[in-house]
């Protein structure tokens, strides 16, 4: 009976607000004054009986307020996100025998509500998870937020502010965003609405709130589901969820996901996925967190979110290989809290495939929540090659050409090896941390030296002392800066075979391949040269496939590269090869002799550190997924390697599973 009264309070609040809108704003009341007054009296009586009064209740005489700015407010308990997957089987694996909640992933803006002594004292946005914005003034314009509750202890509830799709369709006709353009989707409109300075304007946006978690309060209950039922009795509308009562099978999870999807569609609720969290609060806390997300849950994303925007221009930039790389510049869109306005267009074939020209309406995503990507062109049929391809290199002004690779990909190319930008990129690579590691020699300094005509080949770096007097007089470069640069150049003279090989910039020969070649030829440039001359089959080595094999021979077929390989040796010393420390690899492990590849971030390790860990277990740390890969360690923000591993049926390990198999705790 008590539950019915609470539901009636929320129902009457929304009903009476609708009648008020019809009367005052539309001049078209649908009920008589007598009916309105009767319902108003019923609501006032129920509010007194239950102790629940919604923030937007018509019984409250307090008007809508206006603030001059949104003040920052910290979150003592960080409002972090959850890790994501697109696979129901991964969602099922995550359960790990625990009781769980499966809940709608509402498509809006996360809001935190704080109550003290039964009164709402603060409403705040999620912000960056650590600090949000105070939107308490707008709480009266958002449906579903109680202003007073019959619970006197501290209560902190999180939920989602969103707009029903049908309401968005009605609102988008007349509302414009901060740039003067129509809102692209209900999520953006909801996010913009709750952050308005004028609460009256927020009230017109039909924003709703549904609770999905209790951060503080009702600590006597050990399960999240119990705490949610408690706040439901305080007048909150809950985000739809299902709670497991026993261990689930994969088909149970699939059926539950389908049920929740159907519910959202029938109830006109915007969602972009399903959230799984552990129901046991103590167990959930024991899972810990990363800097990005809590580990007690996993979000099933239906697809990468798409955002409509307009392509403004295509920028072309020469690379160190001579290929001119295209980048899309478009009207900014907000994705996952970040403003995105640029995305790689990869090559000419990609542009032609989408028929892209400036002015097109395009759909943009953030693939795997990391990389901005153009997914679709909504204005096909207007493509013209001359409208997008530059006739001259944007750096040196020399004519460009369209080149087709062996794989059939069309690219725009600058053949001028003296092109300043192309030269700069090559020197940036050569001096980089993974190559010759000339610390302190910045890109801006290299650009100045190239502009002065002092750097034509890598060997010229080791003759820079000829220009010392001029360098120390250059803006931003004094005697101390020069000495630091020269010391770093001298230090780079002592190097290793793998660094030397990386510095040559042979296409695709990076850390992993150079390390494999270093081990194969004991760090000897002479043995490597002999292998090249004898047509050694490099594909027999781990991580070197036919393309890398061909790249090595193609590079050495060019006379200027042989000269570089030999001449630079006069300026540097390649140190004697030091085999990797045996470490644990002297003992047999579950990974001994296997190839293990990593994708994504495995905290707290850098990529080099986790690869070193893999090597210490007697395994080979691969750089790419192939049929020879035995395991893929899938960390946070996994990339395309995960998709390829699934296609090949390769065993995928979470970081925790890897560490357990290695005999360590995560």
Question: What residues act catalytically?
Answer: 105
Alpha carbon distance 200, 574 (integer Å): 72
Task: Write out the binding residues.
Answer: 33-37, 81-82, 126, 160, 301, 393, 396, 414, 419
Instruction: Give the whole-angstrom CA distance, residue 561 versus residue 553.
Output: 11
Known binding-site positions for NAD(+): 33-37, 81-82, 126, 160, 301
d(CA 274, CA 104): 5
What is the residue-wise DSSP string for 242-285? EE-SSPPPHHHHHHHHHHHHHHHHHTT--EEEEEEEESBHHHHH
Angle, CA of 173, 178 and 180, to the nearest 5° = 55
Cα distance between residue 376 and residue 363, in whole Å: 5
Residue 159 belongs to what H/E stretch?
Answer: strand 155-162
Bridge partners for 621 per DSSP: 596
The residues, ordered by sequence, that sit 6+ positions from 321 with a Cβ below 8 Å of its Cβ are 422, 507
Cβ neighbours for 151, distance < 8 A, ≥ 6 positions apart: 115, 118, 217, 234
- In the block, tokens 């390829």 appear at 644
Cis peptide, bond prior to residue 604, ω within 30 of zero: yes
At residue 18, the 3 state secondary structure works out as helix
The answer to whether 171 and 163 have CB atoms below 8 angstroms apart is yes
| Beta pairing class for 81-85 and 271-278 | unpaired
**62 bridge partner residues:** none
Determine phi and psi for 628, rounding to 5 degrees. -90, 0
Q: Which residues pair with 622 in a beta bridge?
A: 597
Residues 6+ apart with CB under 8 A from 161: 108, 109, 110, 111, 142, 190, 191, 193, 194, 207, 208, 209
How far does CA 666 lie from the centroid of its chain? 23
Residues placed in the known binding site for Zn(2+): 393, 396, 414, 419
Helix (H, G, I), strand (E, B) or coil at 470: helix
Helical residues (DSSP H) of 368-441, grouped into ranges: 385-388, 420-431
């Amino acid at each position: 009976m008590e539950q019915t009264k609470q539901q009636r309070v929320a129902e009457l609040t929304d009903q009476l607000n609708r009648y008020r809108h019809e009367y005052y704003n539309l001049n078209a009341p649908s009920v008589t004054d007598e009916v309105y007054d009767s319902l108003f009296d019923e609501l006032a009586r129920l509010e007194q009986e239950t102790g629940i009064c919604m923030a937007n209740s018509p019984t409250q005489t307090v008007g809508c307020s206006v603030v001059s700015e949104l003040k920052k407010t910290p979150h003592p308990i960080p409002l972090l996100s959850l890790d994501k997957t697109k696979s129901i089987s991964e969602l099922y694996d995550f359960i790990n025998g625990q009781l769980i909640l499966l809940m709608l992933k509402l498509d809006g803006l996360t809001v935190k509500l704080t109550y003290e002594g039964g009164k709402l004292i603060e409403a705040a946005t999620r912000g960056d998870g650590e600090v949000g914005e105070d939107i308490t003034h707008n709480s009266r314009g958002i449906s579903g937020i109680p202003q007073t509750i019959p619970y006197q202890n501290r209560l902190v509830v999180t939920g989602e502010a969103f707009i029903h799709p049908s309401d968005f369709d009605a609102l988008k006709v007349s509302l414009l965003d901060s740039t003067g353009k129509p809102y692209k989707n209900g999520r953006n409109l909801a996010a913009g609405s709750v952050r308005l300075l004028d609460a009256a304007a927020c009230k017109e946006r039909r924003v709703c709130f549904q609770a999905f978690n209790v951060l503080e309060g009702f600590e006597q209950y050990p399960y999240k589901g119990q705490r949610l039922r408690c706040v439901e009795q305080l007048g909150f509308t809950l985000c739809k969820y299902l709670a497991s009562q026993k261990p689930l099978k994969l088909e149970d999870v699939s059926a539950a996901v389908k049920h929740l999807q159907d519910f959202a569609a029938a109830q006109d609720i915007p969602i972009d996925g399903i959230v799984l969290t552990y129901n046991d609060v103590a167990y959930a806390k024991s899972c810990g967190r990363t800097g990005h997300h809590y580990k007690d849950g996993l979000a099933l994303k239906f697809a990468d979110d798409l955002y409509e925007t307009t392509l403004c221009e295509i920028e072309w930039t020469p690379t160190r290989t001579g290929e001119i790389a295209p980048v899309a510049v478009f009207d900014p869109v907000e994705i996952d809290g970040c403003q995105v306005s640029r995305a790689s267009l990869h090559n000419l074939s990609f542009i032609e495939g989408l028929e892209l020209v400036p002015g097109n309406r395009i759909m943009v995503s953030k693939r795997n929540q990391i990389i901005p990507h153009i997914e679709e062109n909504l204005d096909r049929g207007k493509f013209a090659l001359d409208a997008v391809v530059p006739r001259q290199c944007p750096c040196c002004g020399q004519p460009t050409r369209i080149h087709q690779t062996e794989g059939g990909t069309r690219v725009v190319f600058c053949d001028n090896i003296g092109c300043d930008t192309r030269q700069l990129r090559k020197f940036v690579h050569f001096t980089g941390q993974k190559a010759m590691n000339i610390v302190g020699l910045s890109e801006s300094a290299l650009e100045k030296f190239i502009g002065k005509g002092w750097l034509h080949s890598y060997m010229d770096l080791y003759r820079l002392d000829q220009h010392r007097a001029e360098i120390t007089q250059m803006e931003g470069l004094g005697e101390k800066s020069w000495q630091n640069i020269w010391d770093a150049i001298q230090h780079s003279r002592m190097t290793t075979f793998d660094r030397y090989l990386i510095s040559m910039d042979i296409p695709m020969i990076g850390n992993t391949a150079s390390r494999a070649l270093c081990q194969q030829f004991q760090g000897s440039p002479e043995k490597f040269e002999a292998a090249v001359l004898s047509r050694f089959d490099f594909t027999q080595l781990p991580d070197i496939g036919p393309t890398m094999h061909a790249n090595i021979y193609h590079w050495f077929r060019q006379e200027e590269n042989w000269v570089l390989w030999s001449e630079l040796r006069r300026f540097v010393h390649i140190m004697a090869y030091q085999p990797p420390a045996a470490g644990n690899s002297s003992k047999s492990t579950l990974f001994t002799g296997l190839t293990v590849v990593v994708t994504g971030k495995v905290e707290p390790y850098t990529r080099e550190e986790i690869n070193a860990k893999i090597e210490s277990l007697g395994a080979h740390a691969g750089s790419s997924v192939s049929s020879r890969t035995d395991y893929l360690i899938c960390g946070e923000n996994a990339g395309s390697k995960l998709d390829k591993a699934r296609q090949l049926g390769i065993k995928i390990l979470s970081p925790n599973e890897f560490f357990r198999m290695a005999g360590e705790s995560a």
